[in-house]
């Protein structure tokens, strides 16, 4: 069975669509949505915090997962403030669903 596919490219589009779907779980690709591939640590930290601040505004979101194939990580622990926050390095994209099975459904 094939599911519908929505092509969204910007953080605004992702969050708008997630709100429309009443998503409980957001799995976001770090590069380039949160920080560009060749950016430094400061850009990654700022991007993660900016995305978390915006995602917390969506009603019903329980988990925000940042997925990346790289090994870089945020320099400070992630504070979800009521939202479970996960940063998954070496995620093995394209998407491998076994990492996300414990997250609430529906996911985005």
pLDDT of amino acid 1: 52
Residue 93 domain flag: yes
Is 22 within a domain?
A: yes
Could you tell me the pTM of the whole model? 0.79
> What gap in Å lies between CA 41 and CA 76, rounded to an integer?
11
Asked if residue 82 belongs to a domain, the reply is: yes
Three-class SS of residue 42? helix
- Residue 48, in any domain of the structure: yes
CA quadruple 72, 30, 84, 76: dihedral positive or negative? Answer: positive
Can you give the pLDDT at residue 77?
85
Number of domains in the chain: 1
Residue 91 lies in a domain: yes
Asked, for residue 1, whether it belongs to a domain, the answer is no
Q: pLDDT tens across 73-95, in order?
A: 999 888 767 899 999 887 776 66
What pLDDT is stored for residue 103 in this prediction?
A: 81
Positions of the chain with pLDDT lower than 50, given as ranges: none
In 3D, which of 89, 52, 88 has the Cα closest to residue 100? Answer: 88
* pLDDT score at 42: 95
Provide the residue range defining the domain that includes 21: 11-100
């Amino acid at each position: 069975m094939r599911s519908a596919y929505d092509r969204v490219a910007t953080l605004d589009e992702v969050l708008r669509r997630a709100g429309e779907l009443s998503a409980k779980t957001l799995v976001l690709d770090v590069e380039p949505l949160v920080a560009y591939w060749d950016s430094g640590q400061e850009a990654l930290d700022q991007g993660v915090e900016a995305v978390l601040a915006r995602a917390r505004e969506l009603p019903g979101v329980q988990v925000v997962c940042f997925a990346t194939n790289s090994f870089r990580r945020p320099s400070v622990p992630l504070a979800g403030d009521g939202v479970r926050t996960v940063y998954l390095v070496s995620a093995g994209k394209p998407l491998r669903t076994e990492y996300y099975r414990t997250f609430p459904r529906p996911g985005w």
